Structure 1
Amino acid sequence: MTPAIAGFTYQRVPVADGVSLNAAVAGSGRPIVLLHGFPQTHLMWRHVAADLAADHTVICPDLRGYGASDKPAETGAAYAKRTMAADIVALARTLGHERFALAGHDRGALVAFRAGLDHPETITHLACLDVLPTLDMWEVMRGTTAAVGFHLYLMAQPPGLPEQMIAAYPDGFFSHFLDIWTNDPQAIPADVRAAYLDACRDAVPSIVADYRASAGVDVDHDQTDRDAGNRLRMPVTVLQQDWGAALGFDAAALWSAWAPDLRHSTVTCGHFMAEEAPADIAKALRDLLAR
């Protein structure tokens, strides 16, 4: 039986032609949407979501192409973060929320970032966990330190080879990241880990499409916004591992260029911070919502 977030109800919500998202919903009060990263599903928010649901409406979807959400074919801009951000706005609107706070981790943070730029009248508060904006990421990845992002380059390749290679050994590929990005392996129990692997095994083409978009159309969208001087207008919180110095760049400075109202801090844990340090993340999100 697939694990679920205790106390949350599940529904499929149409967000675009032929695309519905699987979403877990609970609580009441000011809404906040929580977006998962790679190689996970909405389950990564299980601890934080339960905390926030005590006094907020909490919505935890699987992104398009992931988990139990629909996985459209990679045509046009199907996996552009602009498209995926529009999914989230449509999801919240269908659930009755014209304005909402948004927090994302990893891939979900890139969707949240794009939603903040494209829908400033809709996103009231924004949190991005352990990621850089796409344009900045490609600009700082260089030399031997870029080896940590080998998967970014693999999945940026034209359709065919990346999908075939990953599909040949999906559990090994996705387990690699669950292993090396986690400081506390106990933070992802066996049933949740199995759910992540099951979900990824069934979504290789769409996951690759998501990453491929970040080496193409997503860069174009970010560059257009940078050139136009577009910035995030809402209060922004960025939480990251203390890895900036090790990789040779100033993450806070990069984020500040996009977010005038920024609070940037580091969290002592691995990449999967919502699972390894849920109390810290919940507090940071509550602090954000109070701004």
Structure 2
Amino acid sequence: MDLRIDGFDYRRVPVAPDVALNVAVGGSGSPVVLLHGFPQTHLMWRHVAADLAADHTVICPDLRGYGASDKPVDPDGTGYAKRTMAADVVAVARELGHQRFALAGHDRGALVAIRAGLDHPDAVTHLASLDVLPTLDMWDVMHGVSAAVGFHLYLMAQPPGLPERLIGNSPDEFFGHFLDIWTRDPAAIPAEVRAAYLAASRAAVPSIVADYRASAGVDVEHDRADRAAGNRLGMPVTVLQQDWGAALGFDAAGRWRQWADNLVHRTVTCGHFMAEEAPGEVVKEFRELLGR
């Protein structure tokens, strides 16, 4: 299903040998790059992107392995490292003529955005993260029976073969499960958008699993190296997060303060898909961030 963000132009942007991303571009002004989460595509930003395009150049790619972007095989386990995917984002911006840009990500896209901020501090001017913790902290806080909410993290961390077969046998049920349980307002994801997300995910099972598998391996290594070296996010950072820190027994804002010097941490009351459930609140916070 070829749904698009109204008023945006679409193009394929090369980011690496034999890898190009599907990218929606709209508006004019200082650039803002928006990265989607799981199990979604760039379409999750349709409300936020349309608003920001009034005075910004808004760039919405499908991440490598998702949506209509290329889905390279991952023989050595690094093809979907957040470091690799962050380099894709910087390459997209530069291909479109932007050496510096603001960056926001939701869920998986937020992990890519965090890595881009750590690896490319001269390129990322402002950073927003929606409803995740940095990878190292995510694994640290998952323990005991409360970790059952993240069962998919452990499933897709397994060696190649079993996760792909299990998910591939019932992809709509698997991906649809998260669209259902993570949404407080089902109307926020209309039937046609839901169908587009399921179709895109159904066609990307190996690459989605590879993305998650990297977060249980190479991504943790990269975070540990940054933590040991004292590397931090020096740009203004805004974090929007549900109150699942309290539910799981940790201080989410405290975790974030270990990574960001200039931090605004907000707790929101909508579901996980906040750019679709509360786009006005997200835009308000983004505009406040861009003014810092």
TM score, norm. by length of structure 1: 0.99
1:111 is aligned to: 112
Q: How does 1:14-163 map to 2 (within 5 A)?
A: 14-76=14-76, 77-163=78-164
Q: How does 1:232-247 map to 2 (within 5 A)?
A: 232-247=233-248
Counterpart amino acid of 1:110?
Answer: L
Residues 212-265 of structure 1 show CA distances to partners (whole Å, capped at 9, x for unaligned) of: 000000000000000000000100000001221111011000001000100000
Counterpart amino acid of 2:56?
Answer: H
SS at match of 2:11: strand
Counterpart amino acid of 1:279?
Answer: G
Q: Is 1:224 paired with 2:225?
A: yes
Provide the C-alpha distance between the structure 1 equivalents of 2:226 and 2:59, rounded to a whole number of angstroms.
28
Residues 173-210 of structure 1 show CA distances to partners (whole Å, capped at 9, x for unaligned) of: 00000000000000000110000000000000000000
Residues 74-128 of structure 1 show CA distances to partners (whole Å, capped at 9, x for unaligned) of: 1231000000000000000000000000000000000000000000000000000
Percent identity over paired residues? 77
Counterpart amino acid of 1:85?
Answer: A
Counterpart amino acid of 1:236?
Answer: V
Q: Is 1:274 paired with 2:268?
A: no
Provide the C-alpha distance between the structure 2 equivalents of 1:239 and 1:36, rounded to a whole number of angstroms.
14
Counterpart amino acid of 1:5?
Answer: I
Provide the C-alpha distance between the structure 2 equivalents of 1:175 and 1:195, rounded to a whole number of angstroms.
11
Counterpart amino acid of 1:223?
Answer: R
Provide the C-alpha distance between the structure 1 equivalents of 2:251 and 2:257, rounded to a whole number of angstroms.
10
Residues 147-189 of structure 1 show CA distances to partners (whole Å, capped at 9, x for unaligned) of: 0000000000000000000000000000000000000000000
Counterpart amino acid of 2:156?
Answer: M
Find runs of 4+ consecutive structure 1 residues off by over 4 angstroms: none
Cα drift, residue 34 of structure 1: 0.1
SS at match of 2:235: coil
Alignment: residue pair count: 291
